[in-house]
Chain A
Amino acid sequence: MSDLQRALDIFETKFGKVGNVKFLLTGGMSMDDVSAEFLALAESVANDTARMLDSYPEPDLAQ
């Protein structure tokens, strides 16, 4: 199973079925780069270490 699929499994476990996933990518990357980064994002959300903004104004990002 790829890191990408692992990431999507993590999201499904936390929030339910994934219906759509899209990426805006920058140059010079590989499939492995993107998958590994996306897995890290999924893990940060699953572990509640990601800051999920749902209202404004959000906290000062400089902190």
Chain B
Amino acid sequence: MFETAARIKPLLVALDDEVPLTEPVTIDKLIELTKRFTSFSDIRLVPMGKSRSIAGSHVAFPEANMVVIFFRACLGHPIGEPNRECPTCRDARFFIAKELSHAFDGDDERTPPGDAEEMLLKETLAGSYSGKQAQADLLGSMWAVEMLFRYHNRVSITGDGTFPAQAQLTASRTSGDYSYFAKQFCVPVVVAELGLRDNVLASMKALRKYVGLPLFHYQPGN
């Protein structure tokens, strides 16, 4: 986990430097930064219409410096522009971000074809995640949260009471309805709820401290 955090750190820093905290992160920007900080210069998205079991998939071709990402797409809106009101679009953004994070996988976290069935699918389907390859798959979801619902936003929301969003957080925690934050940051509702949990934020704070990521990032106007 710490090794992956160190590898993905430049992307998170660049996101905070280049995208105002008040704006949702675009998939276009995530692809641009993934290209900048990995060896993959060609990243293709393949929208899937109906899919029973696969919400997203990442297939990397290192010799071609290429990644192909399949994602369960919204058939009503293009993915290039964040659509806060559409839950299917918000889901699709999360699926893509999760699969993009695997471009940062370390050597021992990658799943080559021979291991895919034994080391990845069986563990993933069983929910065991004991091997590093399957753990990386689980961690990808965590990095997707960090990319789309950024730490500094969540710190502001859960902070010391000086930000207006904290009143909304109290309301969300009381009602269990996190759709306000889901729409604001264009993420699935479950991601908004997860990202604002105190224990998740505390874990991320420790991780960020360990790899030298800033614990609070000020942008004028935020």
Tell me the number of A-to-B contacts counted with CB atoms below 8 Å.
159
Complex: A34 Cα to B120 Cα, angstroms = 12
Q: Are A31 and B54 in contact (CB under 8 A)?
A: no
Interface residues on B, range: 35 or more
SS class, residues of chain B in contact with chain A: mixed
Q: Are B76 and A61 in contact (CB under 8 A)?
A: yes
Complex: A52 Cα to B45 Cα, angstroms = 6
A12-63 CB contacts (< 8 Å) to partner B: 12, 15-26, 28-31, 33-35, 37-38, 41, 45, 50-54, 56-62
Contact of A22 among B43, B79, B125, B137 (CB under 8 A): B137
Q: Are B44 and A20 in contact (CB under 8 A)?
A: no
Complex: A54 Cα to B122 Cα, angstroms = 32
- The reply to whether the CB of B19 lies closer than 8 angstroms to some CB of chain A is no
Q: Are A29 and B53 in contact (CB under 8 A)?
A: yes
Q: What distance in Å separates the Cβ of B66 from its nearest Cβ neighbour in chain A?
A: 6
- Determine the chain A residues whose CB is within 8 A of the CB of B80 once the complex forms: 56-58
Interface residues on A, range: 35 or more
Complex: A38 Cα to B56 Cα, angstroms = 10
Q: Are B54 and A23 in contact (CB under 8 A)?
A: yes
User: Which residues of A are in contact with B by a Cβ distance under 8 Å?
Assistant: 2, 4-5, 8-9, 11-12, 15-26, 28-31, 33-35, 37-38, 41, 45, 50-54, 56-62
8 CB contacts below 8 A, A to B, read A15-B66, A21-B111, A21-B120, A25-B53, A25-B125, A33-B53, A37-B54, A45-B46
